[in-house]
Amino acid sequence: MKFYNLIFFTILLYCFACKNENKVSKYKIFNYNQDSDIASLDPAFAIKQGNIWAVNQLFNGLVCLNKKLSISPSIAKRWEITNNGKTYTFYLRNDVYFHDDAIFENSKGRKLKAGDFVYSFKRLIDPKTASPGAWIFNDKVLKVNDSTYSDTCFVALNDTVLRINLQNAYSPFLQILTMPYAFVVPKEAIDVYQKDFRTHPVGTGAFKFKMWEEKTTLVFEKNQNYWKYDSIGNKLPYLDGINISFIGDRNIAFMLFKQKKIDFISGLDENSRDLVFNSDGSIGKTFSSQFNVQKIPYMNTEYLGFQLDKNTYTDKENPFLNLKVRQAMNYSINRSQMVQYLLSSVGKAGNNGMIPPFMMTKNNVNGYTYNIEKAQKLLIEAGYPNSKGLPRLTLSTLTRFPYKEICEFAQREWAKIGIKVDIETLDYPTLLENISKGNIKFFRASWQGDYSDPENYMALFYSKNFTPSGPNKTRFKNENFDKLYENTLNETNESKRLKNYYLMDSLVMAQSPVIVLFYDEVVRLLQKNITNLEADAMNNLILELVRKD
């Protein structure tokens, strides 16, 4: 039924684009599938990839990322950073309009003003909004006291100049502003639609909302008044519309892609992966002759975490609290084999630090490589020769592929040196809750970067970020690390910051609160007639430059 709805709404979208024309074949509709539901089209709630991809088409922010994940102008054409990194002044374009909508006079979208960003940002941090994105400004922008934001944290100096004042310098701040949470919305839309704004979004983006049958089909159409042009002066976007289907079964979506009913797929399950890739990770010739395949490094590190907060242990001699045991378990996993056999070489062995190596250029950290002899020696030094006296350990994970299979691979590797590990599978909410509370001592997890700065990964080990209030799931605490981390937040020199990240990541690897398993890769499949859709390391989906021939 969902597939027939997909066809129906695609035809309907053609009709929207057609208007008074007799022929519809020239209209270009981009079809992609979202295998999980989208909860909201409000950028203040763009916490999951599906939501982020959708709102990326509808909204804009002050700045954006280019394909190399460097900061580029968007609604802000330029900016200045003054006051020792605590004041950001943005100079906005004067030709940006919100989408046409009944909330505006004569249903014509009005011109955007700097005050719209002030409103959007204050709405984001308002507890009444309850946005999961409030953290991008919490503890960063200027406050009067611990609980009250200053009236001058966000200021519109005039219609085209916006100023943001920070409490302290924060070097990744521009990266933070590229996130959908920082997209601009009009106050009129929130006032009128209120909670229904999630299903009736009004933005400034290349596409505007048309219709949504939840869990079935979501349709956007071209914004004829979009403010962007390409490099030779052609008005964007090129596409006439976007049609998003919601087929939960990836095998069915893959079949529809092969039948050319879907234009784009991101990610593959275990069945389709072997049809696309050879065992060495190269793309199969048969598949690449019919479709385009993109495969690049992804800002996602898969790891196993040890919970190190002694206050949560009744047994203070627990092996997980023994550094040499953790190091031995790190050395005894052949990550290269794991990636090759389980993932068809989609991903890179986690032999460096927590930060994906491509983000560190030449400053790659040395992590743990496969070394059985060293692992056995460390167990002797830990007081467990040949693992004698070591109790059975438990590793908690999710059931779905490849998480359980990866843990079982590690289980077999540890068994080679006598370490006995039981695998416990839990549903996601239960696993997350127990990790956050510190109840689970050894777990599988991953960290996908929210913004393209290595600080994003080092925040996982800052002692003030203990779960459940922060992302430090291992509850790792190290005084030297904390000092480096805090100093780096205020450091504006890029080379010094990279050096500090290297030192922090090296320290983390030496203390072994995690076992880095592999660095993921973005895999995207495109029809041959789709061009200008380039993958980046955050797996962003931006369709304003895409062509469908």
User: Token pair 């009444």 is at which residue?
Assistant: 128
Cα–Cα distance, 326 to 513 (Å, whole number):
7
**What is residue 312's predicted lDDT score, i.e. its pLDDT?**
93
- Of 1-15, 18-32, 116-130, 236-250, the range with the lowest mean pLDDT is 1-15
Residue 34 CB-half CA count within 13 A: 24
Q: Which letter, b or e, does each residue of 320-335 get, where b requires 16 or more Cβ atoms within 10 Å of its Cβ?
A: bbbbbbbbbbbbbbbb
Q: Is residue 542 part of a domain?
A: no
Query: Is 527 within a domain?
Result: no
pLDDT given at position 269: 79
- Please indicate, yes or no, if residue 258 is contained in any of the structural domains: no
90 and 190 inside one domain: yes
Report, as an integer, the average pLDDT of 300-309: 97
For residues 239 and 109, state if they share a domain: yes
- DSSP code for 358: G
- Of 246, 277, 312, the residue that ends a domain is 246
What does the DSSP 8-state code read for residue 488? H
Q: Which helix (H) or strand (E) holds 287?
A: helix 285-290
- Which of 246, 270, 285 is where one domain is finished? 246
The reply to whether 97 and 27 lie within a common domain is yes
Q: Looking at residue 465, what is its pLDDT?
A: 94
Say yes or no: 302 and 218 in one domain.
no
Mean pLDDT of 178-184: 97
CATH number at residue 105: 3.40.190.10
Structure tokens at 342: 């389980």
Structure confidence by residue, pLDDT tens digits, 238-279:
999 999 999 998 889 999 999 999 999 998 877 788 788 887
- Is residue 124 situated within a structural domain? yes
- Within this chain, do residues 118 and 227 fall inside the same structural domain, yes or no? yes
Identify which has the larger pLDDT, 489 or 10.
Answer: 489
Decide if 261 contacts 30 (C-beta within 8 A). no
Q: How confident is the model at residue 20 (pLDDT cuts 50, 70, 90)?
A: very low
CATH number at residue 328: 3.10.105.10
Neighbours of 143 (CB within 10 A): 16
Q: What is the pLDDT of residue 188?
A: 97
Q: Residues 189, 193, 196, 199: what is their CA dihedral angle, to the nearest 10 degrees?
A: -50
What is the tally of structural domains in the chain? 2
Question: In the predicted model, what is the mean pLDDT of residues 392-418?
Answer: 95
Mean pLDDT of 365-379: 97
CB neighbours of residue 226 within 10 Å: 20
Average pLDDT over residues 326-334: 98
- Read off the pLDDT band of 21 (50, 70, 90): very low
Predicted pLDDT of residue 25: 53
- Write phi, then psi, for 124 (nearest 5 degrees): -60, -40
Asked whether residue 125 falls in the same domain as residue 189, the answer is: yes
- What 3-state class would DSSP assign to 355? coil
Q: Would the pLDDT of 9 be above 60?
A: no
Strands (E), 57-206: 63-65, 71-73, 76-82, 87-92, 154-158, 161-165
- Per DSSP bridges, beta strands 241-245 and 29-33 are parallel
Residue 249 DSSP SS3:
coil
Looking at residue 416, what is its pLDDT?
96
Tell me: cis bond preceding 127? Omega within 30 of 0 counts: no
Q: Is the pLDDT confidence value at 12 over 90?
A: no
With respect to residue 283, please indicate whether it lies within any of the assigned structural domains.
Answer: no
pLDDT at 10 over 60: no
DSSP string, 378-435: HHHHHT-GGGTTPPPEEEEE-SSTTHHHHHHHHHHHHHTTT--EEEEE--HHHHHHHH
Using CA atoms, how far apart are residues 142 and 149, in angstroms rounded to an integer? 6
**Is the same domain home to 44 and 151?**
yes
Which residues constitute the domain of residue 352? Answer: 298-522
Residue 45 has pLDDT above 90, yes or no: yes
pLDDT tens profile 202-215: 999 999 999 999 99
Cα separation, 98 vs 227, in Å, equals 10
- Per-position DSSP letters for 441-486, written without gaps between them: SEEEEEEE-SSSSTHHHHGGG-GGGBTTTSSBTT----HHHHHHHH
Domain assignment present for residue 263? The answer is no
Inside any domain, residue 534: no
User: Is 459 found in the same domain as 334?
Assistant: yes
Specify whether 309 is located in the same domain as 179. Answer: no
Please indicate, yes or no, whether residues 382 and 492 belong to a single structural domain of this protein.
Answer: yes
Say what the pTM is. 0.90
Asked if residue 239 and residue 318 are part of one domain, the reply reads: no
Q: Please indicate, yes or no, whether residues 229 and 327 belong to a single structural domain of this protein.
A: no
Residue 287 domain flag: no
